[in-house]
Each structure stands twice: as C-alpha cells, then as structure tokens.
Amino acid sequence: MGFRMGIVGLPNVGKSTLFNALTKTAAAQAANFPFCTIEPNVGEVAVPDPRLEKLAGIAGSKQIIPTRITFVDIAGLVKGASKGEGLGNQFLANIREVDAIAHVLRCFEDGDVTHVEGRVDPLSDAEVIETELMIADMESIERRMANLTRKLKGGDKEAVAQERLLKQALAALETGKPARSVEVTEDDRKAWDMLQLLTAKPVLYVCNVAEDEAASGNEWSAKVAHMAAEQGAGHVVISARIEEEISQLDADEAQMFLGEMGLDEAGLDRLIRAGYDLLGLQTYFTVGPKEARAWTIRKGTLAPQAAAVIHGDFEKGFIRAETIAYDDYISGNGEAGAREAGKLRVEGKSYEVKDGDVLHFLFNA
Ligand SMILES: Nc1nc2c(ncn2[C@@H]2O[C@H](COP(=O)(O)OP(=O)(O)O)[C@@H](O)[C@H]2O)c(=O)[nH]1
Ligand SMILES: [Mg+2]
C-alpha cells in the first residue's frame, strides 16, 4: 500500500533541501532496504522506531527492516498556478496522489536566497498556496457537478450522494475555507475520499528556520504554530540546512552535532513521525530469527486487513493471529517468556490490531 506525503510550498522555501536530506538519510541506510526505489522526486523514508531494535535484540534477528513512508517533492506551486502560471496544473495531479501534505514555509531570512514574493511572511505564503489549491478544488467540483447532471436525472443514488458532498465542499470553499473543514460522517467517508479534493488532505506545516533557531524556533514559526493549532493541522520546526548536514554524517557524528545544536533528535525523525501521526497510522511488528520488521496500518485496522499488508494471501486465508503486546514481549524477554506468562493471545478476524503488537499470522495457503 504505502503512504505518501507530498512536500509543497512556494519556490525557494527549502522543499528540495528537505527532500534531499530525507532521502539521503534513507539512502545511507539502503543496505537494510531490499525495496529501496528512489526516483528523482520520490523517495522512501524509514519511520524511526526504537522499539524495532529492542525486539530484534531479544529475538536475535539477523535483519532489521523498518516500515516506510514515501515523500514526493512537488515543485511548481506559485501564485496563479491554478491558472497555468509556473508549471501550471502539472503539480495538481502530483498532489492528488498523496495522502497528506507537508507544507514547507520559509521562516528564515537570507539575502542570498530570493523570496518569490520579496519578503519573508510564512502566514501569507501559506495563504497563497492554500488559495491556489482552493481554486483548483472549486474548478474540479464544477467539472464533477456538470458530469453528474445526466446521472442525477436518472435518479442514481451514488450521484445524489456525490452531489450532496460536492455542494458541502463548495460551500466551505466559497467562504474561504478548505474542504478539510467539512465534517464528514463515517458513512460518507469513502465517497468523500473519492472526490480527491486537494484541500481535503491533512496538512503538516513545516517551518524551515535558520540554523541557529532550529532548537528554539522564532517569531515566524510561533505564528505558524498558532495558525496550525487553529486549523487542527500538524506543525514541526526544522532547519532544512542542518538536516542536510546531518544527513551526511554517520550516526555518532550526527548525535554529537545534534548535541551541539541543542537538539534531542534529528528534525527529520520528528517530521516523519508527525506525518505518520497526521495520517492516523500505527505500526505492528513481525519478529523472528531471520528478521524483525515493522509494518504500517491505519488505526482501527482489523487483523485480516493488517495481514494483507504483508501478503494478500494472508488476508484471504486468514485463520488467526497470535498476538503479544509490545510491552509484554519486552517484559517476557521474548515470545517464549510472554507465552509462559500467559501474554500470548489468539485473536480472530474481528481483532483490532493495536500499535506495537507483535503478530504471527496463521493462514490457509
Ligand atoms: N539560509 C538558509 N537557506 C536555506 C535553508 N533551506 C534552504 N535554503 C536555501 O534556499 C535555496 C532554495 O532551496 P530549495 O530547497 O531548492 O527550495 P525549493 O525551491 O523549495 O525546493 C537553496 O539555495 C537552499 O540552500 C535554510 O534553512 N537556511
Ligand atoms: Mg525544489
């Protein structure tokens, strides 16, 4: 399946610097990743999770395979993009394909780096981008409505539901609000997602600050934090420049460098985790002598669908899942100990997988 985050923002805000840092770090660890495919603007990034090393240590796993999310560096968004400025509408298709948006905002001053609008003002930059996406959404809604006319006349139920949702989205957009401000019921969720509205996607604001402000943030990033809170969006402060430098260091050097900068952990780790949270994702593990591996699922996923992430056959032939909670695995010092302590549960088709579960699926081939 694979979850995708699109990196968007005005030109020269640090998108590519950030993307390169993300993928360089991933490339450095590539030996561990049998499926690491990196296109020029698409990169897969390991989701940092210290639990995985602990599990592997206990089980003596030969290989550690983290779970990953995909980042896409989406260029070409400028004022007027929805009307064909810059790369025009090309970026729209790119954004439609992602599950969430990392919106990079320039919160650093640098006379050598041109700001397209001639001044540093992240709130107004955010508005420029959001406006382009809202215009694009309004246009796509109009097109969809026009296409529905015939089906509506025929009384098509799906079309009626679609029209209702399109109208709700349009009403929000016309008052200057993104489609994500519309409250959607669980029943409507699927139809809503199918509309693929750009401003319906969850947003994580990434404040790119100067090197010496990475730990503290600055006045601009504080304003962005406030805006993010009001919108119910995510928010992280990083320095793309620093992340780029860190991505070229080995682990020990990186730790020292972070200490010098007054940081506990790399901003990229925070960014990746924030993206993971924003998407409502969680992790389960499979652990054995060969490998310890993390897998990504949406919160609320049932055991058979969780198994499908490994292989479709696991879902089709699903019998049961032997389950040990992460904490029980650790306190039992492994599977045998957890079993003895009565902590290995046998769960069926209706089991909702929990974050950190160590799972073993039994299935009919
Ligand atoms: N001073 C400073 N410059 C940065 C920072 N992040 C990016 N830049 C510079 O800004 C310019 C544009 O960055 P780039 O990542 O290509 O921006 P993009 O157009 O958003 O992809 C490059 O010269 C970067 O080196 C930063 O945190 N501080
Ligand atoms: Mg770029």
Are residues 97 and 229 located together in one domain of the fold?
yes
Q: Which of 113, 125, 208, 247 to mutate to test the pocket of ligand 1 (most atoms within 8 A of CB)?
A: 113
Are residues 316 and 235 located together in one domain of the fold?
no
Q: Which DSSP string do the residues of 230-279 spell out, in sequence order?
A: HHT-EEEEE-HHHHHHHTTS-HHHHHHHHHHTT-SS-HHHHHHHHHHHHT
Q: Specify if 284 maps to a domain.
A: no
Q: Specify if 152 maps to a domain.
A: yes
Q: Specify if 294 maps to a domain.
A: no
Q: What are 53-103's pLDDT values in tens digits? A: 999 999 999 999 999 889 999 887 777 777 766 655 667 788 888 999 999
Residues with C-beta less than 6 Å from any ligand 1 atom: 9, 11-17, 108, 110, 113, 208, 210, 239-241
Are residues 43 and 102 located together in one domain of the fold?
yes
Question: What is the predicted pLDDT for the residue at 25?
Answer: 65
Are residues 228 and 316 located together in one domain of the fold?
no
CATH number assigned to the domain comprising residue 159: 3.40.50.300
Are residues 101 and 231 located together in one domain of the fold?
yes
Q: Specify if 211 maps to a domain.
A: yes
Are residues 307 and 342 located together in one domain of the fold?
yes
Q: Is the distance from CB of 320 to CB of 346 less than 8 angstroms?
A: yes
Question: What is the predicted pLDDT for the residue at 31?
Answer: 43
Q: Specify if 158 maps to a domain.
A: yes
Are residues 201 and 317 located together in one domain of the fold?
no
Question: What is the predicted pLDDT for the residue at 11?
Answer: 87
- Following CA atoms 32, 37, 42, 45 in sequence, which dihedral angle do they give, to the nearest 10 degrees? -10
Q: Is the pLDDT of residue 35 over 60?
A: no
Q: What are 233-259's pLDDT values in tens digits? A: 999 999 999 998 888 888 889 889 888
Are residues 313 and 244 located together in one domain of the fold?
no
Its domain, for residue 117, covers 3-279
Task: Collapse the DSSP code of 176 into the 3-class scheme (helix H, G, I; strand E, B; otherwise coil) and give the result.
Answer: coil
pTM: predicted TM-score of the whole model, two decimal places: 0.88
Residue nearest to atom 28 of ligand 1 (CA): 210
Q: Specify if 285 maps to a domain.
A: no
Q: Specify if 295 maps to a domain.
A: no
Task: Collapse the DSSP code of 100 into the 3-class scheme (helix H, G, I; strand E, B; otherwise coil) and give the result.
Answer: strand
Q: How many domains does the chain have?
A: 2
Quote the CA–CA distance of 279 and 3 in Å, as a whole number.
8
Question: What is the predicted pLDDT for the residue at 122?
Answer: 95
Q: Is the pLDDT of residue 159 over 50?
A: yes
Ligand of minimum distance to the alpha carbon of 115:
1
